[in-house]
Chain A
Amino acid sequence: MDRILEVNDLHVHFSTYGGTVQAVRGVSFHLNRGETLAIVGESGCGKSVTSNAIMGLIPSPSGKIVNGSILFKGEDLTKFPEKKMRTIRGVDISMIFQDPMTALNPTLTIGTQLMEGLIQHKKVSAKEAEKRAIEMMELVGIPNPKERLKHYPHQFSGGMRQRIVIAIALICEPELLIADEPTTALDVTIQAQILELFGEIQEKTGVSIILITHDLGVVAKIADRIAVMYAGKIIETGTKRDIFYRPQHPYTKGLLHSVPRLDERGELEPIDGTPPDLFSPPIGCPFTARCPLAMEVCNKVYPATSSLSETHQVNCWLQDERAKQLLAAAASK
């Protein structure tokens, strides 16, 4: 399959007054053309940092990509100078932010904010840009687009604003769209509409999507594949079926149990504890301290990647034969 994006062994560090935070610690994944990959994890697990790294928006000089590569259509974005990155951002790769209430500039009309990227990158005339802006407004489902272009963000509701943000992200016809928690700040009913919109847009434009979220409910609706991230590492990847029906990592299982389900009347089980401090991340599996099946080895060595199928990979010591024996012995007791 055609890989539009491939991230290999990405490390991102931030230097703060308290020391160095290892926010992303060796993340690798890929994205096929036209597919939707969801990166799921708790806040602070490094998922937003990963998406910012792809955009080349790691705040400098505090943040730094210390290792790894980000191949976009075969070219390594980490090697691009800032000036070249600007010709990629908004044109080939676009981003949608979490809170539509703050993502739009309150003092500029949405028409201006829609068209400025297009005018900057595609050198189109104002008239053409307006025509395109109206098309985009129609695409994302905003009634009365011609008139609404002259309005300011505060004259729109939250859901409408997120539609506008999506329109802004799509106006230059990017090949990759990164959506960072696109529905978190919205009401539940609006969330569903926005998710449907993503599906429609992908169908119409063929754009590849990376969806960053902490909400497995969102993932279930639109993702093709899922990567579960914990403490700066991807601990399990697989197709939607793999993750939802055959989760392997205790953390993934924990996440699934803390999602309310309609078909099961069981109690919601939150995962106890908090993620480790990334100032000094543990050398073993970072989930050990919260894991119900922690072994001595988990504290000491980070597990290798085991493949359960071509699509399904997990990093967990429970995949080791010796652990399986231990489990079997415990079960028979």
Chain B
Amino acid sequence: MKQAEEVTKLSPANVPDEWFTFIEVDKTEAETVSRPSLSYWKDAWRRLRMNKMAMMGLVFLVLLTFMAIFGPMMTPYDVNVQDRPNQYQPPSAEHWFGTDNMGRDVFTRTWYGARISLFVGFVAAIIDVFIGIIWGGISGYKGGRTDNIMMRIIEILYGIPSLLVTILLLVVFGPSLFTIILALAITGWVGMARIVRGQVLQIKNYEFVQASKSYGAKSGRIIRKHLLPNTMGPIIVQMTLSIPTAIFAEAFLSFIGLGVQAPYASWGVMANDSLGAILSGNWWTLFFPAFFISFTMFAFNVLGDGLQDALDPRLRK
């Protein structure tokens, strides 16, 4: 570096004669990019890690999943065994989150609630992805008449107020976890299908896809090998953002009395049970389910935002 400094001080007027010799320049060297290149997924992970909020969401969700599995084992209490004499106990060494109107342990019930919320969220999202990819993929890939008809159907479904139909379904078939997930899945995939179709339409015309088409590759293979890997980013983002929607829907339905029934306990049911309690000052019965619904949705939302930024190829730096 010392030599370089001396060199910059040299004015063009007094350069030494011996520097006037031709040199061989390695042209390939000029083409190598000076910054290290990373694969798409590695780079996305690197950028996700830099996003503090998204990482906080991810850590929270990992912890929540852990507690949903092991939390209920940490206490001697059963989710549903009532203990009337011990109702409305504030948080203490025996009952970490206190007890509710029936004397049930809120700590235990909270992690049972986490199981329900995470289960509903993930299963509904996976069904969304499954139907969405098939519908959107076929629609975008086939194009023409098929696409037209499939998109009309989506437009019609889009107008259906899904929560209303869900309520109707639950009223008729009786509230259960299965009905809730079924009802959410019937209308939930529409957004996913639109996104997949948009991605497929865009990528379909890329050269590498055109090229494999000209080699006579089968449609199925093109979809599997080329289109899917390249549409994964937006699908993951949409999935992350559709999970809180499903969690909200379950909590909402539980809250109006259409939620899961005993022996299950969901956060929405817990919140509904303790509506009266807040007026009497037993805040903990509402606080814990309310906090965990909100924070879980928050965690999925910030993680989804972070993934969106991290997976957007346009934002690569």
Contact = CB atoms under 8 A, between A and B. Distances in A.
- Complex contact flag A–B (Cβ < 8 Å): yes
Interface string A267-290: 000001110110110010000111
Interface string A284-304: 000011110111111111111
B25 A294 contact: yes
Q: How large is the interface on B (under 10, 10 to 19, 20 to 34, 35 or more residues)?
A: 20 to 34
B30 interface: yes
A297 B13 contact: no
Interface in B95-116: none
Interface in B288-317: 317
B288 to A, nearest CB: 41
A296 B21 contact: yes
A317 B7 CA distance: 15
A320 B20 contact: yes
Contact of A283 (B4, B18, B317): B4
A326 B13 contact: no
A61 to B, nearest CB: 18
Interface residues of A, number: 34
B173 interface: no
Contacts of A143: none
Contacts of A144: none
Given A283-B4, A289-B25, A290-B25, A297 B19 contact: yes
A273 B29 CA distance: 8
A17 B35 CA distance: 13
A17 B12 contact: no
A207 B7 CA distance: 44
A17 B46 CA distance: 14
Interface in B1-47: 4, 7-8, 10-13, 15, 17-23, 25, 27, 29-31, 33-35
A302 B11 CA distance: 8
A16 B35 CA distance: 14
A303 B18 CA distance: 16
Given A16-B317, A296-B20, A301-B7, A274 B31 contact: yes
Contacts of B35: 18
A179 B20 CA distance: 40
B16 to A, nearest CB: 8
Interface string A220-247: 0000000000000000000000000000
